[in-house]
Amino acid sequence: MTDIINIVPMSKEHIVQIAKIESESFADPWAGQIFYEVLQVPDCAAFVALKSESVAGYLILRRTPPEIEILNIAVKESERKKNIATNLFSALFEYANLEKAEKLTLEVRRSNGPALALYKKLGFEIDGYRKNYYENPKEDAILMSLKLKTGKI
């Protein structure tokens, strides 16, 4: 039997778990306070993937009509390769449709092969690079986007 994944809006009750996933996932993690601040920013939205009421992953975005920028996405290490990120993107696509977004954008470390593979599978294309964008370690960012048709992929 597979575990049921529920995608819900992020709330302050999720932040402790999100901050833990963040610190385990990134060399330069966001400080926990940033997640509280995201909840206060009108142009931001965030989703969490819940598995048995525990946060398995999250996605944070910023609306800049007609685009949506994916600011952050991570999945708990023990839950990777279980379609959690794909489920988060499905929720994002529904949200983008409701928002009538025309394009999704994101940036990713050049060395993040699993994320690049997922984004390409979802239809994202490489738009360019930002040299030495990331710190710890210093690394280029790959800029990617996905054009949506009238808010639909």
Note whether residue 152 is domain-resident: no
Confidence of residue 150 (pLDDT cuts 50, 70, 90): low
Does the structure show a pLDDT above 50 at 151?
no
pLDDT digits (tens, 9 = 90+) for 41-76: 999 999 999 999 899 999 999 999 999 999 999 999
The per-residue pLDDT of the chain, averaged, comes to: 93
107 an active-site residue?
yes
DSSP the chain: -PPPEEEEE--GGGHHHHHHHHHHH-SSPPPHHHHHHHTT-TTEEEEEEEETTEEEEEEEEEEETTEEEEEEEEE-GGGTTSSHHHHHHHHHHHHHHHTT--EEEEEEETT-HHHHHHHHHTT-EEEEEEEEEETTTTEEEEEEEEE-BTTB-
Does the structure show a pLDDT above 50 at 1?
no
* Cα–Cα separations (whole angstroms), residue 143 to 1, 8, 42, 124, 150: 38, 27, 24, 10, 22
Note whether residue 37 is domain-resident: yes
Note whether residue 106 is domain-resident: yes
Per annotation, catalytic residue among 22, 95, 107, 134: 107
CATH number reported for the structural domain that contains residue 50 in this entry = 3.40.630.30
Give residue 149's pLDDT: 81
Per annotation, catalytic residue among 95, 119, 129, 133: 119
**Hey, what are 57's tokens?**
């992953």
pTM, full prediction? 0.92
Note whether residue 153 is domain-resident: no
pLDDT digits (tens, 9 = 90+) for 10-52: 999 999 999 999 999 998 899 989 999 999 999 999 999 999 9
Note whether residue 75 is domain-resident: yes
Range of the domain at 120: 5-147
Report how many domains make up the chain: 1
